[in-house]
Every structure is written in structure tokens, then in C-alpha cells.
Amino acid sequence: MRGPAGRFAPSPTGPLHLGSLYTALASFLDARSRGENWYVRIDDLDTPRNVDGADDEILFALEAHGLVWDGSIDRQSEHLERYTSVMTELNRLGLLYYCRCSRRTLAGLSRYPGTCRACIEPLKDSATRIVTDGTTITFEDACCGTQSVLLDRDVGDFIVQRRDGIFGYQLATAVDDGEDAITSVIRGRDLLDNTSPQLWLMKILGLGAPDYAHLPVVCDHHGTKLSKQTHAPPVQSGQALHNLRTCLMLFGFSRPPPAMAVEELLQWAVSGWDRASLPDGDVAVQSDPAGPA
């Protein structure tokens, strides 16, 4: 049995940008400040979106920023047997059905209306959905406060295996965080809505659940969210100290002492880390995130 642990789980769809470095650093500092392990898992199931070499670029950038992980790198693509056996279990519980609704049919709906619930025999060329019920999932988020979600009303029957055979994000993440005994998940607020379905899956599967902190979104000085979709520039590993200092200021640290090596700066940040004082609104970098102002 592993001890308490945090994790950073990037998708290899592009290089690390300042928004993802911010999340990685928060999760690293949080784990280290509690003397916990910190793991890196590459969430590489969505193969059409994967970019060749992006995983190596991300790992190189993490190391250059002193974010050295414990153990070996984990990859979701190596867990297919694990997900398949969970699907068998969910099927045994009578929770799965097969859906051929097109994206166009469902356009404009806030949640899936359960159209195909009666299709319980496997169908070719169909997505697999799970039947949600009236369970209320409540959890305490370290950044966003108490969250309470009524599963069938607020989430609806979600996809656990896509039409192209790829396992759904909720399923894979819940199973991996649960089976790998991750005790603390720190990630971006854009993933907050994913937490309730994941907690519900963990409950059904008898897996222990982590605690969560969903960090504010990092925007550039124009107010645009830094993400792969908005073409946020990759962090320059040669400017690791500058990038780390930028993130620490966004966490609300007072100006870090100058002239420190990367490891020293991280040590300084670990000793001053306080989850409770993380900002609760979006944060913006004041200068060009690609380099020093």
C-alpha cells in the first residue's frame, strides 16, 4: 500500500505552457509540503489528439523546473486491461447501455436525455453510457468550497467508452486515481464539473477518493485563458527560475528572494506553501508569459 500522494496528469497534446506549469507546481508543492509522494501520469488515451514527442517535451520541462517525480512515469495507455475489467463490472451491475445518438441530435442539450437507455445489448458503432441516478455527490474543494451535485439532474448519463472504442475521461481518471490510491488531486478549475461523476464512479467501484483543489484559471495580460486551445506559448526551460517565480506570485507568495537556484526556490516555496491562501478568482500574468519582461 502506497502512502499519501499527489499527482500531475498532463495529456500529451502539446508542450507545457504556463497554465499547466502552474497546476503542476501547485500539486508538487502541496505534496512535498506534506511529505507526500508526487507522481506523474501521462493521460494519453485520446490518441487522435496526442502529439508525437509531446510527452517527452512535458517531462523535460518538468525536470528543468525542478519538478522531479517519484517512481516511474505512468501512462493510461498501459491500463487498458484495468479499464476493461471495470467495464465488465459496471455491466454486471446493469449500469451500461449503448448509444448511437449523433452529436447533431444532442446539440444544444445541457445533458444527455437518456434516449437510448433501453439499448442494453452491445451495438456496433455505438458509445457506451452509464445510467446515473438521483445520488447527490457532495465534496469539499480546497479552492472552490463545498460542491453539491445531483447526478441525474446535473450530469446525466455520461459516456464511459466512446464510439471509437477509447475509454472515457471520467472512467479512466476515476479508476486510476482510485486504484493508484491518489489522496490529493490539484488541477484546473475547468475540470471542476468532472469531479462529481468521478467520485460517483469511485464509490460504485469501492475505490478510495482523493481530496480536491481546483485552481483558478491562469490568463494572459489580455484576459485570455492560457491553454493549448488558445495557443499559449510553451514555457522556456532556460527561463525556469523566471517561470517558477511568476507562478509563485500567482499563488499569492510575496516576492520570492532573488538569486536562488531552482531547487532552493522550490524548497523556499515548499516551506511557505499554504493551500488555504490560494487565490479563489482567476489569476493573470502581468507580462509576456514566454519570457522575462
Residues that bind Zn ion (CB under 5 A): 99, 101, 115-116
**Cα–Cα distance list, 282 to 19, 115, 158, 193, 226 (Å):** 11, 37, 28, 17, 11
Nearer to Zn ion, 115 or 147 (CB): 115
Minimal distance, residue 104 CB to Zn ion, in Å? 12
Find cell 472552490 and name the residue: 144
Q: Which is nearer to Zn ion, 101 or 131 (CB)?
A: 101
Question: Is 137 within 8 Å of 104 (Cβ atoms)?
Answer: no
- Distance of closest approach, residue 130 Cβ to Zn ion, in angstroms: 13
- Whether residue 121 contacts residue 98, with contact meaning beta carbons closer than 8 Å, is answered with yes
State in angstroms the smallest separation of the CB of 111 from Zn ion. 12
Cβ distance to Zn ion smaller for residue 101 or 205: 101
Cβ 7 to Zn ion, closest distance in Å?
33
DSSP string, 244-278: HHHHHHHTTPPPPPSS--HHHHHHHHHHH--GGGS
53 Cβ contact list (under 8 Å, min separation 6): none
Q: Which is nearer to Zn ion, 91 or 115 (CB)?
A: 115
Residue 107 burial (CB count, 10 A):
7
Q: Which is nearer to Zn ion, 102 or 254 (CB)?
A: 102
In the bound state with Zn ion, the residue whose beta carbon lies nearer, of 33 and 115, is: 115
Contact 284, 246 (CB under 8 A): no
Least distance CB 200 / Zn ion (angstroms): 20
* φ, ψ (nearest 5 deg) of residue 283: -120, 150
